[in-house]
Amino acid sequence: MDRQILHVDCNKFYASVECCLNPELRDKPVVVGGNEASRHGIVLTKNEIAARYDIGTGETLWSARQKCPDLVVVPPHFPTYTRFSGMVREILRGYTPLVEPFGLDEAWLDVTGCRRDPVEIAHEIRRRVKEELGITVSVGVSFNKSFAKLGSDYKKPDAVTVFSRENYRDLVWPLPAGDLLFVGRSTRKKLAERFIFTIGDVARADPALLQALLGKWGPALHAVANGRDSQPVIPSEQAAAVQSVSNGMTTPRDLTDDRDVQRVLMVLSESVGRRLREQHMTGRTIELHLRDNQLVTRSHRVTLDHYVQSTNDIAGAAFALFKDSYRWQRPLRSVTVGVTSLEPDTIPCQLDMTDSAGREKREQLDRAVDGLRQRFGDKCIRRAILLEDPDLTGDSLYETHTVHPTGFSGKTDEIGGKE
């Protein structure tokens, strides 16, 4: 028997929540945007009215205002969005325990065997979210996750779309190949060079050609386009363990010397280290993403011969990597530090005759500091290096970090930085 999968997408989530809380905004063009003074001035989401002015997500607020002088810009309230997201999930879990959240504003449900028509469930969810929470969702109903996701995007807001075995060739196949979740910019380009533009083109293409073009993703993509997608809906409690922990920030001013970078790396490492310790993980690959003031991004990584968890070790390794890889071609605008190759922190480790006592002490110190911060707040104890330039290093990242969508192929786990 076919599965019955729903994909629920909260339409223009941040903007909808803001309009729900403040009805005066409802009839105005609204965007939720970052703080321009600290150079986070981009559009995070827009409401329907702002969308009519052709304002895009990720666009600078400056250029959005050029298109629409009456634009209302609301700062983001992440705790509120998290709360609304939780309330939506609570409604969804009333239908099935198989709810797989994808970011704050999307989720898959497997309602196979619910003894109710899935389309009826979809409409009920749509109606209830609107009545109970005052925001709208669009729902895709299909026999696999990929098509269900395409469905929630097909008609919105406040709508239900069904892609069945009978109609998917007529409805799904004309959609652009880029709508598929796996297909990013470079894949789309490669496909277009072979005159593969729509999902139907992918479905009818020779799997061998796709393999030659895209490697192992080729046949997988071909299967998905033909409706053969057996990815299960994995409830969040069973979600794959975290594969990497990272934090990044765009700094209020450009970084111009090693000391600046050292300060920022310390802020980032404090958050990364604390989150690693909370999850009882330790890792030995350090990643560094640097973006300069021309918006050129470089990534560097190094795998150490030992596992690190303590803030000082992470910051030290990240700075060493930075010294090895960056020659100050240009000032830097944003920096991200990540730790991957994670293992549980109970993994046996090779002691270093020259330093193992020191590492143990650092770990004890970290634990003591974490404990203090948990009880008295992040600001109760701070590093001297972060007091040198408080404008640059600002507030604690830990309290503001947000969780972004996990790649549903399980490929990436991106945990984003400070807004």
Annotated catalytic residue 106 = yes
- Dihedral over alpha carbons 7, 11, 17, 20 (to 10 degrees): -110
Cα radius of gyration rounded to whole Å, the chain: 24
Q: Which stretch binds another protein (CB under 8 A): 21-29, 151-159, 173-181, 386-394?
A: 21-29
Contact 49, 31 (CB under 8 A): no
Is residue 87 a contact residue for another protein (CB under 8 A)? yes
CA 339 – CA 4 distance, rounded (Å): 38
Taking the complex as a whole, the smallest distance from the CB of residue 83 to another protein amounts, in Å, to: 8
The HSE-up count of residue 335 (CA atoms within 13 Å, CB side) is 28
Contact 67, 55 (CB under 8 A): yes
CA 315 – CA 288 distance, rounded (Å): 11
Is residue 133 a contact residue for another protein (CB under 8 A)? yes
Is residue 93 a contact residue for another protein (CB under 8 A)? no
The overall longest dimension of the chain from CA atoms, in Å, is 69
Of residues 21 and 212, the one with the C-beta less far from another protein: 21
Of residues 78 and 217, the one with the C-beta less far from another protein: 78
Is residue 20 a contact residue for another protein (CB under 8 A)? yes
Of residues 87 and 385, the one with the C-beta less far from another protein: 87
Is residue 130 a contact residue for another protein (CB under 8 A)? yes
CA 60 – CA 33 distance, rounded (Å): 9
CA 55 – CA 12 distance, rounded (Å): 13
Taking the complex as a whole, the smallest distance from the CB of residue 84 to another protein amounts, in Å, to: 8
Query: What number of chain residues touch another protein (CB under 8 A)?
Result: 12
Is residue 132 a contact residue for another protein (CB under 8 A)? yes
**DSSP codes joined into one string, 343-393:** EETTS-----TTTHHHHHHHHHHHHHHHHHHHHH-GGGS--GGGGS-HHHH
Q: Which stretch binds another protein (CB under 8 A): 47-55, 124-132, 161-169, 296-304?
A: 124-132
Q: Which stretch binds another protein (CB under 8 A): 16-24, 145-153, 213-221, 409-417?
A: 16-24
Q: Which stretch binds another protein (CB under 8 A): 125-133, 270-278, 325-333, 388-396?
A: 125-133
Is residue 176 a contact residue for another protein (CB under 8 A)? no
Taking the complex as a whole, the smallest distance from the CB of residue 224 to another protein amounts, in Å, to: 37
Is residue 21 a contact residue for another protein (CB under 8 A)? yes
Is residue 242 a contact residue for another protein (CB under 8 A)? no
Of 296, 272, 298, the C-alpha closest to 285 is 272
Options 59, 100, 106, 363, the catalytic residue: 106
Burial degree of 234 (CB within 10 A; 0-12, 13-18, 19+)? middle
Taking the complex as a whole, the smallest distance from the CB of residue 20 to another protein amounts, in Å, to: 6
Which residues of the chain form contacts with another protein (CB under 8 A)? Answer: 20-24, 87, 130-135
The residues assigned a catalytic role are 106
